[in-house]
Each structure stands twice: as C-alpha cells, then as structure tokens.
Structure 1
Amino acid sequence: MIELTTGKKDLREYLQDHLLVGDGAMATQLHRLGVPLGVSFEELSLSNPKLVQEVHDSYYAAGARLLETNTYSANRDSLSRYGLEHRVARINRLAVKIARESARDDAYVAGSIGSILAGRVRKKVLDEYRDQYEEQAIALLHAGVDGIILETFLDLEELLMALEVIRPLTDAPLIAQLATLEVGRTRDGYSLTDAFGQLKQAGADIVGLNCRLGPAEILRSFENTQVPHGALLSAFPNAGRLGLTDGEYAYKSTPDYFGQSALRLREQGIRLIGGCCGTTPEHVKAMADALESLEPQERINPTIVPGDRPQVTVQSIRDQSKPSIVERVKTETTVIVEFDPPRDLDAESFLDGCCELHRAGADAITLADNSLATVRMSNMALGALMKSRHGIDPLLHIACRDRNLIGQQSHLMGLHALGIDQILVITGDPSRFGDLPGATSVFDVTSFDLIRMVKQLNEGVSFAGRPLKQKAQFIVGAAFNPNVRQMDAAIARLEKKVEAGADYIMTQPVYDVESIKQVYEATKHIGIPVFIGIMPLTSLRNAEFLHNEVPGIKLSPEALERMRAVEQGEAARQEGIKMAKELLDTAIQYFKGIYLITPFHYSSMAAELVQYVRQQSALVKTATH
C-alpha cells in the first residue's frame, strides 16, 4: 500500500468543517490559450509544462484550493491514439509535479483519472481496464498526490471497478464522481441513491457529480437523491449546455450564475465545489467569492414520495379535411403547439395530451425529433397514431443528425405513405451531448441541403435524381433563433433557408415585447409565414435554467425578476401563464402564426394559452371589422 506524507490536514478531515473550491476545466482553458482540438492535452505535461502550469496558476489565483492534475485521459487506452502508450507513468508523474508547484502550501492536489469508456458504447469487458486503472493510479500516488479523483464516469459499474482496483493501493482520499445523462440516473440504469450507496460501500470517501449537466440539473439531482449518512459530497457542473450560437459552439453559463449556483449547492450539503467543461478561472473566482467565509451546511435528505400519474378520459376526435398551416395562416390566426414525444414506452399519455390541445383549438401539434440528442419515441409513429386515431394534424421535426441520406429519403417516403406532409427541417443537437454520447452524429447534409432535397421529392425526383412515379406534397418549415447577438447574420441565414425552399418559419421562444417587435421588423420582408415562439415559464429555477444553460434561449431581466417575486409551485406556473398571455397580446398584433411550446408536458398550460389566442384573435378580428 502506498502511503502519502503531507503537511496539510487530510482532505477528508478538512471537509468535515470547511468548504473547498475546486478548479475548473483544464481542456477549456488550454483551448482558450491556443491549443487546438484533436491533440492530447495530457501530453502537454511533457512538451509544454509551462502552459499547463499557467492554467493551474490561473485557477489557484482565482481561489481554487483543490487542483486536479492534467491526467484525465492519461491512461494507456487514450494515449495509444497518439502513440504515447509507453509514456503513461512519465506523463502522470510530471503532471503531479506541475500541479504541486502551483498549489503552494495551502492547496490540495488531486490526481485526475477519467473514465476509459469515456462515453463510448461498451464493446469490451470492463475487467480489461483493471490494469490500466492500476497503472495510472500507482504513477499518481508515487508522485505524491493528496488524493485521487475518479471523474466523468457514465456507468456506475465502471466506477465501482476502478474503486475496487485503487482502494487497496492507498489510504489516501478517493473522490468518485459520476456523470449522468439525465437527472437522477446513471447510463447503466442505477438511481443516484443506489449509486452513491454502492460507491461509499466500495471505499469512496467523497461521492458526487461532474460534467454533462449544468448547475441547475446537478442541483436537482442532489435534491432528489438519498445520500448515505455521513457521506462527503462534491459537485463539478459544466457551464450549462454546449450549443451553437452565432456560428460557434460555446457554453452559456456566466461566472455570476456559477457564484449563485455554488450557494445553492452548499445548501444541499455539498462541500467540494468546482467546475467542469466550459468553466474558466472567472467561474471559479465567482464561486470562491460567493463561498468565502461560509461554513458547510449539513446534508438533509429529501423525503421521496412516488406520485401516481393522473388518468385522463379522452374522446376520439376526427377531422380529415383540414387545410395546411400555410394555407390557414394566410387568412386567420393559426396556432402550432409543440408537445414532446415521451422518453419511455407509454404512448397513451402523450396522445391524451394531444387530444387536450386539439380540443383547445390547436391547428397542428408539432413533435420534436429526439431534441437535445435525447432518445424519445419515434415522432413518425406517434404522428401516424395522432392522425389515424384522432384526426389530429401532426407536424414532425426532421433532424439532419440521426439518418444518413438513405435513411432520410426512406423516412420521408414513409411519411408520404402515411399522409403526413407537414415537417420542420432542423440541424439537430450533436449526439455526444445527449443520453447516448457513443452514438454517431451523421450530418450527411445541412438543413439547407435537406430543405432543397425535400422540395426535390415534391418535384417527383429522388435524392439520387431518379424519377419517381408520384410527387410528394411536403410543406417544409425552417427554424429561426432570434436570441443572438448578430441579428443581421441570423437573418442572412434565414434568407438562405427561404431560398432553399422553406414554406414557413418557426422561431425559438422570446420573452419580451420588444423582441417580438424586432423579429417582426427583421422578418417582414421574407415573404413566408413566421410562427413566433412563446413558451410559458413554470418556476424561477426553470427560468434561470433556460436563461443560463439552454442554447438559443434568452430571458429578459423583467421576466426573471417577475419569477423571483412569486412563490414557487402553482403560483409560479400561473405567473408564467400570465406573462405568456401578455406576450401573446403583442404577438397577435404582429403575427398570424403563433408557436406555443409546452413545458414539461404540462398540456393544460399550453391548452389554456391556445384558448386565449383564439379568444384574443377573435376580438381583434371583430374590432377590425
């Protein structure tokens, strides 16, 4: 067994009475300093140690008192991709030396060991990784780390195996951090309550979460988890979700938001708080400032009471002779409602909600195509059920991400056979940020290309140029995000979609009256209908999450302040509906197309807003006549 000697108090002992701020993302900061993607960041400990130390120094100066070594992927499997598999021990030892120089005498150095699976689909027996975890751990321990941090493990079983290998090697503190793809559950199906219990029993001194999720979802994960008695907790969230804005991939969460989030994490009894992907020294400083002089809070586990889903009796609704949304919007206010497909195998509840929205007056119900790269039930199958059982017009999203050209044409031919002809073409979020990060993002074509190719099917010509015996009749929509810094560039992109053949536009949700007017002024020249997006808020946390972590959405300061001013629960939802109605009052004056987005499957909220649009548009119509 390897024994460590250090003048500092043992990390476990220190955390009994203190909060500790960890560092932020190593790769993010190295990339900011000019290191290109696609290289081994760990190898820089050999070739450019001063640059690695510069990152450590910046986090120490920001207030981090736990520095992680630049060794996340310094295992044989990962290094072999760069021909460096024979340098495992040397890279790990040098990385500890660099971090130790930055840590001075008052900061802890944790040897970082990442998942070898690293999000990929499991193709090997996990036992094959045992030797690699042992090899890396021994190198880090011999170099003098104050503990080991096992991080970004999507599968509990892999993390337990790593603990089983490393725990007998040392009495040093072991931090075991899972990365979850959805709130409260690991990729291999364990609840966090079960996972944390098993990790503590396996010898982890500190258990927690890092990566994948931003502060709001990590906070929610802890709020819904029964933590083992006496367990020390850690949290290293991402800087929100990674998204494409103004042509660049970026994380959204600001340092100020991270400072506020650190206080909320402290309330959950978390004592070691840092940052993961997208976080910078600025984020760490905000957390350190917020937590300065504060003592840790005792963990109070929630009382978990499983709830029963209410059953709804639905009457069959059929109407097979409706005009398309483009035909309808030329003469009257037309409402599209987004209602996401379920993430499980229960289609009936979804169809119940669709019927509720249809009865309220929705002209079409739009179904996303595995939004945020998260697997949901096939929108094609659900659209067919909506149409055949209830006579409801579906409007299906089609993402460029999941199907190659063969699959895309086959999918569209199937929709044609089912009589589903209203679609929205979108790019789709990258697979690596969804719940199956080992899946491949196809992206054979862009959204511009796919719009053109759908219109080609309308001409009776296949993607390959082969004449078809029938012509398709697809009505093709395109997406528009007005929540950008450079509106001119966004409008130029939108004009390209119109040029490609888009028949109508659906926007991301907006949250203030001025934005509605700006969208109208910016798009009134394009010559096709625009459906302005409105999504009611449900709580302050929902508002902060959308504003700080979800790409493409930006709330006004007034909207955030109004949600802060009300009690949460039903009162917050009612305030969200009230705010949405105020926005709709303006939207109806400028747009005949309204696009309502249902939050959290609250179909009743969306139904109330549909009815409101119908009432208000009738009043406007009466007044004009």
Structure 2
Amino acid sequence: MKPDLRQAWENQVLIGDGAIGTYLYQLGFPVGISYEELNLTSPEVIGNVHRQYVDAGAQLIETNTFSANYDKLSKYGLESKVGEINRAGVRIAREAAGRDGYVVGAVGSIRAGRRSNISTGELKRYFEEQLSVLLSEGVDGILLETFYDVEEIQLALQQVRKLTDLPVICQFAVENIARTLDGFSMQDAYRILSQEGADVIGFNCRTGPNGIMRALETLSGVMNLPASVYPNAGIADYVDGEFRYGASPEYFGQMAVPFADLGARIIGGCCGTTPAHIAEIASALSGYVPSPLPEVEPAEINRIVIQEPAEGNQPERSSEPSLVDLVKERHTVIVELDPPRDLDITKFMKGAEALKNAGADALTLADNSLAVTRMSNMALGHLVQARIGLRPLIHIACRDRNLIGTQSHMMGFDALGIDHVLAVTGDPARFGDLPGSSSVYDMTSFEIIRMIKQLNEGIAFSGKPLKQKAKFVVGAAFNPNVRHLDKAVARLEKKIASGADYVMTQPVYDPELIVRLREATAHLDIPIFIGIMPLASGRNAEYLHNEVPGIQLSDEVRSRMAGLEGEAGRAMGVQIGKELLDVATKHFNGIYLMTPFMFYEMSVQLMEYVWEISGRRLSPLFH
C-alpha cells in the first residue's frame, strides 16, 4: 500500500508531470477552445497525455481542471458543466496514474493577475464549487497553482481548509524578483500561507528554471515546509504563427538536483514542457535522498513600503493645486481639444494657447477617440505643458495597450510630470479608421483605475517595487445619457471604489438631465465635471444623436439645429451651450467643454461665459 502524500514527500522528491495546455497545443489542438472541456468530449486524448507523463516517470498527476471553474468556463458557455468537467478530470487522471501514482486536483487562479471586478463573495463560491467536486471524487490532495497575489490564494486555501484536511500545495507565479502583485515579499507570502495551513509552497509558470531558482533562493532562512517547482520551458518565442519554447529536456535534468538541494520535494514542469522534460528530471533524481528541512522561527509579516521620492528626483510638476482641490473652491473648466490626424500641430497649438489665454484650468486630450488614429496625446500633452504652461489631462484607453504598454505609458507620464489622467475603455478598433487592427482590452476601466493607483503606492503592475511613488490623479468616465440613471450611477460607484478621484461625463444636452444627475450623485464625495459639447451644425447634431455611442440629443435641440450650417450652426451651438451652462454651473463646479472639429473659438466663448456668470475675474495675463 502506498504511503499518503505527506509521507511520500518527507522521504523522497516526487516527480510531477508537465504541461497539459501547451502540450495539447503542440499536438494540434487550437488556442481559443476550452482544453478542460476535452475531459468530456475527448477523454482518451487527456488520458493519453497523463499516461505519457506517467511513463516518463511522473508520480504526481494533476487533473486537467486548471480553469474548470464557473468564471472561466462561462466564457465558453460551459458554466453549467463545472461538476461534470471536474469529475471527469479526476477519473481520467486516476485511471492514468494507476495504483502507485498520486492525483491532485488542479485549481487555478480566477483573477489571473488582473484586478478584476470579481468580488470576494463570487471567488469563494467559484472555488468552493470546484473544490467540492474534486474532493468528492477522491483526489489525494489539492494543487492551487499560478496565483499572482496573496489575497486570492489565501482565500482559495481557506476554502480548501473548510472542506478537507487533505494536503494542499500552493504555487505562486512570480518573476525572479519573488514578489507578489499585491506587494508582499515571497518570504512574507510564505509565512502567511504556512499559517493558513499550506503543506507545500512553491512556484510555477511565468518564468523558466533560472527565474524559479532565484525565487526559491529568496526563501532561504524561512522555508520549513517542502517546496514545489514547475518551471516553464524558458521564454516562449512566436515563430511562424506558433509558440515555441527553447529550454531543452537535458537542461531540466541539470536543474533537478539543485532544485532538490534547495528544498524542493515536488519537481515538474509547466508551459512548454513535455514528457521528455519529465523523463530527464526523473532520471536526474533517481536515487536522490533529500535532507530534512530546518526548523525556522516565526517572523513578523510586513508588506512592501516604498519611500517617497527624494528631493531632486521628482519630475517638474505644476505648482497649481490639483483639479480635485481646485473644483472644491470655484468653478473649474477642463477643455478637450482633439490631437490632429496628421503631422501638422500648428492649429492645435494655436488653439491650446487661445484656451490658456481664456482661462482654461486644464486641456484634456483624448486617446484616439472613436478608434481613429491621431497623434500621441502624451507627446502633445508634454508640448502643451512645456510651451504654453497649460496643465494637460490625458485620456488613456484600455483598447490600444496591453498591461506592459500601459504601465510603460504611465511611467512615461510620471517622468514628464503629467499627473492628471482619465481612464476610459476606448471604442472598439474595428469601428475606426484601421478596422484590421486589434482591440487589446487587457483591462477594464475599473482595473486600469486600480492599477494606476497602485503606481501611486510605488508598486508596478507586476508587484515589483518602483523605488518611488507616482502621483496620479485619476478620473473616470461616465455616461448619464441612459434609460436607467440609477444603474449607471451604481456602476460609477464601483469606479470610485476602484480609486477614481473625479468624474468626467459624456456631453449632456438636456437641462433636466443635469438636474437629475445632480440629485442622483449628491451622495458621491468626488467632484463631477459635467460635459458640454457645442454643436457645430445640423448634420453634426444628427450624426452625434444617431451614430455616436453615449450621446443623446433632445428633440428640442435637434429641432433648433436642423438645417443650420457654417457660422449660423456654430452660433446656435454656442447659444444652446450657454443655456446648458446656465443650469450646469448652478449644480456643478466642474465644467468639461468638448471642442468640435478644432473650432476652439466656440470653447473660448463658452468658457468666457462660465467666468461671466460665476463672477470670476481673470488676471490680465490671460488676455
């Protein structure tokens, strides 16, 4: 009779299996499908993969259930099959492992490194649903793998411990810096999971043997539990439309004993590994006898603390108070001016200077609005700040940049001293001027707000310390032109909970809506900048009303604009804008003017009207 799993790793190094997902990809199964569904539709394929790993020397087999939770399966319409897929996964693995092998139920991170909108309550339900099925099928233990932050893996571990006292293996996905996304050093993360009842703590995915070796080395002096390591087969390369991994099976064999010497009691492989990699690990560890793990004294747990930037290391920043502070004292006007679609910035800079002279408190620049390619708002924002002395407020869309590009972009803003930003989802790329381009959407608007505010804590998106803190003031977009304003406000509350410092609305053309909006948001404790965009012509009015998402004109406004073009259309647009400002300035200190078609003179007229009705006297320097 085989010993239980805890006894097994006390006396030997257990050989784990290798990748399932990337191995199936190598076998010809395409990306974009649920590999977990194959437990039901192609059980013989999954069973064959497991048997290949067993034949290569694997003693510990993971079930093919990494993403078999409600949230992940719902993306394929399979949320009702959580139970079936997990039960089948255990049975297939058990048959392949045989009488002498061990089977652990694989449970992956649901958030997967993103600050998603999945609540703690939902996470608990999803983990409990999957874990209950795995445990009911008689697994030998649970493997929690590829977790990026302490909060989520701690929650998952707590759910396991409510259901069973079986062994639990906890694995983080970290870079060689060995720090979690939520700012814990690996040593502190290790201590937390030890206290929560983890039996084995280790690493998988995200990096190859060298990176995981360095992460494991950071646990020296605190490790009193067995470790597990499942490295990737190096860094993936994308060649001729395929992902390829370069770390050879022989290299994995060479790294096996050093891993074991550092305390690893389970050694397998993650992305890119194959039965050949596992065979080399098994061969290298044949006859290896592990040393006992040391006794370790408990230590205090601290999250990372980032120092404030030293004097002289800070970028040039405006001495003016932030817009959030300014709008509490007086009417404050943000004016939007679209970056040009060509390489000539002459008119743009002339418009920015005119708006500055008229008393604009900030110039806001969209991020390729309507998915139309325009000049970089970062470059123009810097020029506006440096040449004209007007504060830039830069939009940043989730559409165009992945997590890497977004953090890089934000770091560039910080270096330039641009600290006011507006986080937006961004219109889908296929509706813009380059319909063949892809929309990235690595993040939702909620997530991008959270992650930008994380930079203010001195923590990179990856969890790495940034040596100093950013100072971003982050805005959230809001569309009040909806049928159910209460639902829109509830969504806005979530953005505020994510860290939004202020709100900028889509343009409003109904005075009564402005009043309702004030009433619906009176309980919010952050300022709202109400959007006013003067109409340039009758055709412009009809286009906005009928074709642009998030904009709705009243019948009365459309009737007044009907048939008007040129100067007559712009004059009526300004007049309607002033009437809206009569109401808006009574209820909101924040005004957000949007300039149509580079007609910045219209925005100047409306801004001067705000100062007139609010009684603000501008310094002669503005004229």
| Structure number with larger C-alpha Rg | 2
TM-score with structure 2 length normalisation?
0.50
TM-score with structure 1 length normalisation?
0.50
